[in-house]
Chains A and B, each alone.
Chain A
Amino acid sequence: MFNISAFSLYDAVFIVIAGVTLLAALGVVLLPNIIYSALSLILTFLGVAAIFFQLNSGFIGVIQILVYAGAISILILFAVMLLMNIEPGRTNLPTTRLKALFAGGGITAMFLTALIAAIGFTKWPQLQLITTDNSVEMLAEAMLGDYVIAFEAAAILLLASVIGAILIAKGVQEK
């Protein structure tokens, strides 16, 4: 399977990005300090964005950076800073209940096995990566054409969630 002559720069870049992304993702879950978790979450987002760039979908990549790395991660960092009331090094520990820990780990392992098995056993046709990136125009066409209702619904969802978030976070004013 592994053929050194077919190994290209593209593959090397992929392996590096994927490795960094996965390490950062492990960091999110395993680091005991939630600030570090949040920062490595940002690194994961950037890694996923890099994966998108490598897939020649620059638009999604840029959106990924803009929305996830630029906005969502800031929200998370703010929330973390607002909600810290114990020492930072103990903010993101795994659950104390061993049963839950083992059950979670076991289920995750089984799930991963099932997924890997599914990917491995599927007969993938020899597919080539589409290298053209005219996706911005096509995305615009699709978004405001066939999927316009979904687009509107997403807009309304965002509006509703913004208002909801503000109201919930503000809390009830005690008179």
Chain B
Amino acid sequence: MIEFILPNAWLIPFLPFLGFALIALFIHRWPKISAGVSIAFIGTAFIFSLLVASAVFSEPGGAVYEFTTRWLEMSGLKVDMGLLLDPLSAVMLIVVTSIATLVQIYSIGYMKEDPGFASYYAYQSLFAASMLGLVLSNNFGQMFVFWELVGICSYFLIGFWFGLPSAKNAAIKAFVTNRVGDFGFLLGILFLQIIFGTLAFSGLAEAVPEYTNMAVLVPVALLLFLGPMGKSAQFPLHVWLPDAMEGPTPVSALIHAATMVAAGVYLVARAFFIFSSVPEAMTVIAVIGGFTALFAATIALVQNDIKRILAYSTLSQLGYMMMAMGVGAMTAGMFHLTTHAFFKSLLFLGAGSVIHAMAGEQDIWKMGNLHKKMPVTTWTFIIGALALAGIPPLSGFWSKDEILLGAFASGHYGLYILGAFVAFLTAFYMFRLIFVAFFGSNKEGEHAHESPGVMTMPLIILAVAAVFVGFVNSPFMHHVFGEFINHPMGIQPHPSSMIMISSSLIAVAGIVLAWLIYQKQAISHLAIRERFKGIHQLLQNKYYMDEFYARMGQIFVYGAAQVMFWFDIHVINAFVDLLARFTGKSGDTLKYTEDGQVQNYALYMVAGALILVVVATMAAVSVIA
């Protein structure tokens, strides 16, 4: 079976694609069958991914299989396509297929009443296919194609309820914001092709470290990073992710928490050989990542919408991963990606379960006392939150700890402190959410009911994963994860108990503070809000980033339009007038040759050609003679 699957790993993205095609073309009239087909195909892909992973991880250090075929060839251009199966892609395969499978199962319950049930599954399948294709790509060109496909699927799914103006606008916003990043990404890819003549990762991995012209490589690396910035929603391009929560909640769980937004991080890990040979780019990545982490965590403190809190939390965690990449802890970043995928999708699905139970209500202040009615959701949610907060021995603890350790060991003390502070904020806002929504005194939660088994089952599976996934890179298991997923240029420091203890304490402190404020009500959160009204306003409005963009757009576009208007009137228009006058005069004189007879024009044309022939012949004769 393993011998079969390795050269046929293309089946992994192909199966969901087949599902998409089947649903979209033939069976969309039978929603239940559509869902079944979609789940069956992604489930098969999951099994195949496990087989691939078992083959890849069977050798120490991980085996690498690469399959390439020529897609098209002509003189001057050769385009390859291929599969790259190495530990990095194997891990991503498992993450993507497992979470996609669970989310699709979960969606049976969540989307039950939706009229677009079948097309929802078609989009889900297409998304899974593109994401898996992205993961398996062995060159930048192919990756870019799937990158864009993933983007378009995100657009479809965010705007799934396109009847709502907010969903429609959110979809457009996500797409447009991603375009900004993708444009830079594409430029970077083109530069790579021009400089190195190849886009294959293997070829570039050999060529890039030997290339010394930093004046070229730095901009190329930064351009490449623009892609992850857009897709992983890093600071200036982050604005789309919170709005993307307009989509169905399982979509948020799959795409905007676990997989697609992780594609940026995955790309940085995949192209680590490029970034790690450019220290300047590494610094930029680390700073942007760290800043995003802090920035988003602070916003998350004051949000009231359950999904938006999770969205900002996702932003913050993505920033964390980017920071890890930036400081060189590539292993830690990928590890955090993996664990985060599980507990964050768990949190989103839990939130979805709550929203489902509350008939669409998303404001945490209107919930409360949910733990009585929804025990499974509540406890799985708490497990996810604990994992996110970094409480040992849950998965988030191990990965977050590694990132902090990486920042500390590589000498980025500022980033270390920032990371620790963000960890504190994370624990705080997550438990603010839990205490308000699940244990709050509000009576609204009384009407809630536990979700059906098809929704709670994925929650339980994910909760188990959220507890145990972290162990793969813990000292108990001798850092198995890091043994496979690493890069010679990356750093892998030894674990330090000091950092472990301090980060756990920080997390506990956050939880305790949240408990004091929101459960015990020892400190009135309203009083705090009054005291720091300005800051609260600032955070509540997300640092006015959207308004800032709108304002900047207006200033620059309008200002530029003013300048151009003047230029147009006084320079171009004058020139055009001149041309027009000239044309008119010459037309007045020459119009008598244009008699509207096509054949006369043909005659002139042939006469011209004849003159050319005669002149050329005479020239040739004179040369010979």
Are any A and B Cβ atoms less than 8 Å apart in their complex? yes
Would you call B607 and A149 a contact (CB within 8 A)? Answer: no
**B596 to chain A: closest CB distance in Å?**
13
The answer to whether A22 has its CB under 8 Å from any CB of chain B is no
The answer to whether B610 has its CB under 8 Å from any CB of chain A is yes
The answer to whether A164 has its CB under 8 Å from any CB of chain B is no
B70-78, B327-335, B382-390 - the one binding chain A: B70-78
CB-defined contacts of A158 to chain B, threshold 8 Å = none
Would you call A107 and B599 a contact (CB within 8 A)? Answer: no
Would you call B600 and A110 a contact (CB within 8 A)? Answer: no
Would you call A148 and B74 a contact (CB within 8 A)? Answer: yes
The answer to whether A104 has its CB under 8 Å from any CB of chain B is yes
Residue pairs across A and B with Cβ atoms less than 8 A apart, 14 shown, are A95-B599, A100-B597, A100-B599, A100-B603, A103-B603, A104-B599, A107-B603, A110-B610, A111-B606, A111-B610, A114-B610, A114-B617, A145-B73, A149-B74
Residue A104 contacts which of B73, B75, B603 (CB distance < 8 angstroms)? B603
CB-defined contacts of B572 to chain A, threshold 8 Å = none
The answer to whether A53 has its CB under 8 Å from any CB of chain B is no
The answer to whether A137 has its CB under 8 Å from any CB of chain B is no
CB-defined contacts of B74 to chain A, threshold 8 Å = 145-149
In angstroms, Cα B613 to Cα A123, docked, is 18
Taken residue by residue from 97 to 122, chain A's Cβ proximity to chain B (1 for < 8 Å, 0 otherwise) reads as 00010011001001100100110000
Residue A107 contacts which of B73, B610, B614, B617 (CB distance < 8 angstroms)? B610
In angstroms, Cα B617 to Cα A118, docked, is 8
How many chain B residues touch A (CB < 8 A): the figure is 15
**A147 to chain B: closest CB distance in Å?**
7
Given known A-B contacts A145-B74, A146-B75, A114 and B614 have beta carbons under 8 A apart: yes
**A99 to chain B: closest CB distance in Å?**
10
CB-defined contacts of B607 to chain A, threshold 8 Å = 107
Would you call A117 and B617 a contact (CB within 8 A)? Answer: yes
In angstroms, Cα B613 to Cα A149, docked, is 31
Nearest A residue to B609 via CB reads A111
**A121 to chain B: closest CB distance in Å?**
8
**A169 to chain B: closest CB distance in Å?**
20
**B619 to chain A: closest CB distance in Å?**
13
**B581 to chain A: closest CB distance in Å?**
34
**A146 to chain B: closest CB distance in Å?**
5
**A35 to chain B: closest CB distance in Å?**
22
In angstroms, Cα B603 to Cα A103, docked, is 8
In angstroms, Cα B607 to Cα A114, docked, is 12
CB-defined contacts of B614 to chain A, threshold 8 Å = 114
Would you call B613 and A114 a contact (CB within 8 A)? Answer: yes
Nearest A residue to B624 via CB reads A121
CB-defined contacts of A118 to chain B, threshold 8 Å = 613, 617
Known: A95-B599, A100-B597, A100-B603; 11 extra A-B contacts, CB below 8 A, are A100-B599, A100-B600, A103-B603, A104-B599, A110-B610, A111-B610, A114-B610, A117-B617, A118-B613, A146-B73, A149-B74
CB-defined contacts of B72 to chain A, threshold 8 Å = 148
Taken residue by residue from 8 to 50, chain A's Cβ proximity to chain B (1 for < 8 Å, 0 otherwise) reads as 0000000000000000000000000000000000000000000
In angstroms, Cα B600 to Cα A111, docked, is 16
Q: Which of B73-112 contact A (CB under 8 A)?
A: 73-75
**B239 to chain A: closest CB distance in Å?**
38
CB-defined contacts of B606 to chain A, threshold 8 Å = 107, 111
In angstroms, Cα B75 to Cα A147, docked, is 9
In angstroms, Cα B597 to Cα A149, docked, is 37
In angstroms, Cα B102 to Cα A129, docked, is 69
Q: Which of B590-605 contact A (CB under 8 A)?
A: 597, 599-600, 603
Q: Which of B31-81 contact A (CB under 8 A)?
A: 72-75
CB-defined contacts of B600 to chain A, threshold 8 Å = 100
CB-defined contacts of B599 to chain A, threshold 8 Å = 95, 100, 104
In angstroms, Cα B609 to Cα A103, docked, is 15
In angstroms, Cα B614 to Cα A117, docked, is 10
Nearest A residue to B621 via CB reads A121
**A74 to chain B: closest CB distance in Å?**
25
**B40 to chain A: closest CB distance in Å?**
35
In angstroms, Cα B617 to Cα A110, docked, is 13
Closest 3 CB pairs of A and B: A146-B74, A114-B613, A107-B606
Q: Which of A106-165 contact B (CB under 8 A)?
A: 107, 110-111, 114, 117-118, 145-149
In angstroms, Cα B618 to Cα A117, docked, is 12
CB-defined contacts of B610 to chain A, threshold 8 Å = 107, 110-111, 114
CB-defined contacts of A148 to chain B, threshold 8 Å = 72, 74
**B481 to chain A: closest CB distance in Å?**
44
In angstroms, Cα B610 to Cα A114, docked, is 8
In angstroms, Cα B74 to Cα A118, docked, is 34
